[in-house]
Each structure stands twice: as structure tokens, then as C-alpha cells.
Amino acid sequence: MNAAIEQQRPIRLGWIAALLVLAIGYRVFAAGSTDLANTSPLMAMCFGGGLLLGLRFCWIPALLIVASDLVLGWTNGIGPGSYTVLTAVSFTLAGFAGAWIGKKRGSWPVMWFGTMIGSIVFYLAANTWSWAGSPVYAQTLAGWWQSQTIGIPGFPPSLLFLRNALVGDTIWCLVAAPLFFWKPLAVPKMASAEMAG
């Protein structure tokens, strides 16, 4: 492999790691704000992170999200629950999907589109999980629809959470976009000949 590419790889991975750590930090910070509810770019971290990191490391974003889920659960007095299993499985699958798709078609539009699809699927799955496990919702089609749209009375509507997730995910994808144009620096032939000698 070209020496210039090998020298650039740690820098690119450093940028990806910084994006992941900043997103998790933002998630912990935003958890205390009702205005920022669900604006953390979780699906973008997993699908986009998987696409950028590849199959070998695509599980790392999901691990960070599950760890932050546990920390947020314990600090809020909830502890781990069934949502942790749903989160772990969903985001790990998203990371693997991103890595698999990235091998074939790794581009910014693919990352953004895959992230949006993943966010919508996770939203439907998470709200269905809540509907199935909560006595607040009627166990009917109308109750399921309520879980997907207006949610539980007295709380912000469920659709607000979907909107916020899509906005947060889009912002993360925009910030990550330059990584698709990352090109290794060219090494002049003379310099590479001197390095070899």
C-alpha cells in the first residue's frame, strides 16, 4: 500500500473518532434539555460510522451508544432496561449495514439516505416496543398509531422525536461529509526515492 495513504489513515480515523466522541458528549449534554430531546445523531453515528470505519470497527459506535444509554439510565435512576437490548441490537445492525453497504457504494449520499431510512425504521421499532410494553397504550391498531404519532398525553408528540432525530442525523452527516473527499497527500517521486534509500 502507498506510504502516503498509510500516513493519512490515522489522521482520518482520528477525525472519525472525534466525530463519534463529540456526538456522544452532545448526547449526554442534550439529555438534560427538553428543547434538545432526541437531537443526538445516533443512527448517523452507527450507519455512517459503520460506512466510514468498515466491517472491522463498525460495532464501535453502537458500543458507545449503549454505554451512554447505561450511564444515562443510571444517572436518571432508571438503570438498564429492555430498551437497552433494542438499542444495542438496532444500532449494531445499523453499523454492520453501513459497513456492508460502504464496501460497495461508500458515498455521502448513500450515508445520508441510509441514515434517514435507519432512523425511520428505528423510530417505528422503538415506538412499537413502547406500545407493546406500556399499559398506557391501548393494545389496538389505534393505540399503535397513537404511539407513532402523538404519543403519551402530557409528553411531547412522538413525531417531534422523529423530526429531531432526522435533523440531528442530517447535521452529523453534513459534518462527516468531508471525510468522503479525504485524499492522501501526494508524495513526490524524489522524496519517496530518498525515503527508500
Q: Is residue 193 part of a domain?
A: no
The backbone torsions φ and ψ at residue 26, rounded to the nearest 5 degrees and listed phi first, read: -65, -40
pLDDT value at position 138? 96
- Does 197 fall in a domain? no
Per-residue pLDDT tens digits for 123-150: 999 999 999 999 999 999 999 999 999 9
pLDDT in tens, 152-197: 999 889 999 999 999 999 999 999 888 776 654 444 455 444 455 4
Q: Which domain holds residue 122?
A: 3-182
- What's residue 70's pLDDT? 84
- Window from 79-93, 113-127, 171-185 with minimum mean pLDDT: 171-185
Give domain status of residue 191, yes or no. no
Total count of domains within the chain: 1
**166 in a structural domain:** yes
Q: Is the dihedral of CA 176, 7, 105, 92 positive or negative?
A: negative
Whether 53 is covered by a domain: the verdict is yes
Mean pLDDT of 30-39: 80
The candidate with the shortest Cα–Cα distance to 113, out of 54, 30, 47, is 47
